[in-house]
Chain A
Amino acid sequence: MDVLYFAWVRERIGQPKDKVETKAATVRDLVEELRTREERYEAAFADLDALRVAVDQELADFDAPLDGAREVAFFPPMTGG
């Protein structure tokens, strides 16, 4: 699955994208896996209230299932307009 990062999440992790092999059942499980990778991931995912997530380009919540998901993206609250 592709895991994408935007804005300060991308900056903290230091790259825009990871290819991840995972059996994580939910977004929250995926976050827990990523946090254990390296300090920079822990720094990016320290406060989930400050993050938003999209699964296959649709806004989702952290309990959303990942069954069949091809793309998950993490980013701060959006500031469009």
Chain B
Amino acid sequence: MDIRVQENAFDLGAEANAFAARQKGVGAVVTFTGIVRDLGEGDLQAMQIEHYPGMTEKAISKIAEEALSRWNLGDILVIHRHGVLRAEDLIMMVATSSRHRVDAFQAAEFLMDYLKSRAPFWKKEVTPEGADWVEAKDEDEDALSRW
């Protein structure tokens, strides 16, 4: 299990390759990457991501432990950035490995659903009209009920 909460950018290709290379006896690696979206007309100046140092790492580790207990996985990698990001920057990634793809896919989805509403991050969008906190969506909370 490799959990990283960092301000710096990460190299998706290098991380995915390194993760795949250190797996033993698995037949599948799934990766998911979150990208900063500009939902307006190109007016997103920045996405500020605040987090709760100390709790963030613990909360993600707990979610990852839960995934390891539910599926037959080789390993889990989670990288999540905080600080000031721009449109099209990579915010975060998860990677899972398993003998068969179903476990890797399901665990990656589970990790994403829980990271969205149980890991202490808060996003703020900065546009020419001002800065607004992104509101949590009901469907993100509802998504947890399927697990």
Contacts and interface: CB of A to CB of B under 8 A. Distances in A.
Interface of A: 4, 6-8, 54, 57-59, 73, 75-81
Contact of B134 (A6, A57, A58, A79): A79
A80 B135 contact: no
Contacts of B4: none
Given A57-B54, A75-B122, A78-B117, 6 more contacts: A7-B122, A7-B124, A57-B59, A58-B58, A78-B119, A78-B120
Given A4-B52, A54-B120, A80 B58 contact: no
Contacts of A7: 50, 122, 124, 133
Contacts, number: 70
Interface of B: 34, 50, 52, 54-55, 58-59, 80, 91-92, 112, 115-124, 133-136, 141
A77 B136 contact: yes
Contacts of B123: 79
Nearest to A56: B55
Interface SS majority for chain B: mixed
Contacts of B117: 77-80
A27 B54 CA distance: 20
Given A6-B120, A54-B120, A79 B52 contact: no
B52 A73 contact: yes
Contact of A75 (B115, B120, B124): B120
A56 to B, nearest CB: 9
A-B pairs with lowest CB-CB distance, top 3: A77-B136, A80-B121, A7-B122
